[in-house]
């Protein structure tokens, strides 16, 4: 039985984190169900110049995930299902849908709040709540700074509900102080894959040697 990871992309800055997580999951041969919130279309447009349209999701996804060299990713061999964020009857809206778990990357403060209080205002929030209630692995990657008390309280609620709260907070120790933006993005994405137990080569692991990443 196909048991995909649900990847929810919400409208926080940081669409490169989502692209890196998606590519790494697909490179690892993991099936993926993708949900892109309405606001995430704005951040994607802002950060990449690319649209993300329900009717053209395959082309738009291929262009978005297409490498840092600008060529589209060939997603013909990838196991991706796309669900519009407004489709509250979609598979991932039910606990009986066979999902492995869910990653919300990046996670807006609005998405964190909505998931924490069970708002289910769209498919992204609903499917994340479903995966929490089913006690499946859930990783939430918040991107906001500074934060208010209510942001922190929502993150605590998510933690207490079983989610791994994994802030988009790259470490410099694997690539050193001259790390590129791509390396810092991949560091966060690699921590996401570590959290859900999917093998990856997104960063070099700490080996106990100071300066080993330089
Ligand atoms: C260009 C742009 C950048 C944004 N960056 C952030 C951000 O980094 N963090 C955040 O929490 N919200 C950010 N927002 C605001 C969210 O998009 C907004 O709260 C939205 O309601 C989130 O909806 P969603 O959770 O359904 O995606 C940004 C909005 C835009 C248009």
CATH number at residue 121: 3.40.50.1950
Among the atoms of ligand 1, which is closest to the Cα of residue 144? Answer: 9
Residue 201 lies in a domain: no
Q: What pLDDT sits at residue 90?
A: 98
Number of domains in the chain: 1
Write out pLDDT tens, residues 86-103. 999 999 999 999 999 999
Q: Whose CA is nearest to atom 19 of ligand 1?
A: 110
Q: For ligand 1, say whether the CB of 143 is within 6 Å of any of its atoms.
A: yes
Domain hosting residue 162, numbered range: 5-196
CA distances, 47 to each of 44, 55, 85 (Å): 5, 21, 20
The answer on pLDDT for 69 being more than 80 is: no
User: What is the DSSP annotation of 25-91?
Assistant: HHHTT--EEEEE-HHHHHHHHHHHS----GGGHHHHHHHHHS-TTSPPP--TTS-EEE--TT-TTSG
pLDDT value at 67 more than 80: no
Tens digits of per-residue pLDDT, 100-125?
Answer: 999 999 999 999 999 999 999 999 99
Does the Cβ of 137 fall within 6 Å of ligand 1? Answer: no
3-state SS, residue 9: strand
- Distance from Cα 117 to the centre of ligand 1, integer Å: 18
Decide whether any atom of ligand 1 lies within 6 Å of the 125 Cβ: no
**Is the residue at 180 inside a domain?**
yes
**What is the reported pLDDT for 70?**
79
> DSSP secondary-structure letter at 107?
E
Is residue 70 a part of any domain in this protein? yes
Establish whether residue 11 lines the binding site of ligand 1, counting it when its CB lies within 6 angstroms of any ligand atom. Answer: yes
Best CA proximity match to 197, nearest among 127, 139, 130: 139
Q: What is the pLDDT of residue 43?
A: 98
Domain presence at residue 212: no
The answer to the question of residue 78 being in a domain is: yes
Structure confidence by residue, pLDDT tens digits, 126-147: 999 999 999 999 999 999 999 9
For 37-55, the pLDDT digits (tens) are 999 999 999 999 999 999 9
- Note whether residue 202 is domain-resident: no
- Answer whether residue 210 is part of any domain: no
**Residue 108 Cα to ligand 1 middle (Å):** 5
Q: What is the pLDDT of residue 213?
A: 74
Structure token pair of residue 142: 């918040």
The two tokens of residue 146 are 């500074």
Indicate if the pLDDT at residue 24 is higher than 90: yes
Within a domain: 209 = no
Query: 76 C-alpha to center of ligand 1: Å?
Result: 31
């Amino acid at each position: 039985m196909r048991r995909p990871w649900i990847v929810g992309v919400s409208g926080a800055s940081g669409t490169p984190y989502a692209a890196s997580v998606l590519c790494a999951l697909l490179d690892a041969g993991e099936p993926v169900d993708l949900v892109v919130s309405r606001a995430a279309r704005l951040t994607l447009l802002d950060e990449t110049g690319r649209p993300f349209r329900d009717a053209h999701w395959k082309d738009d996804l291929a262009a978005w995930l297409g490498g840092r060299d600008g060529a589209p990713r060939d997603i013909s061999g990838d196991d991706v299902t796309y669900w519009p964020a407004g489709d509250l009857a979609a598979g991932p809206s039910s606990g009986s849908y066979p999902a492995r778990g869910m990653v919300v990357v990046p996670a807006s403060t609005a998405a964190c709040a909505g998931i924490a209080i069970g708002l289910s205002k769209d498919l992204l929030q609903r499917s994340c709540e479903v995966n929490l209630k089913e006690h499946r692995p859930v990783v939430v990657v918040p991107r906001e700074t500074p934060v208010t008390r209510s942001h922190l309280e929502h993150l605590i609620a998510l933690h207490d509900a079983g989610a791994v709260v994994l802030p988009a907070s790259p470490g410099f120790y694997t690539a050193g102080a001259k790390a590129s933006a791509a390396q810092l993005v991949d560091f966060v994405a690699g921590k996401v894959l570590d959290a859900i137990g999917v093998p990856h080569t997104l960063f070099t692991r700490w080996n106990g040697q100071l300066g080993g990443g330089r």
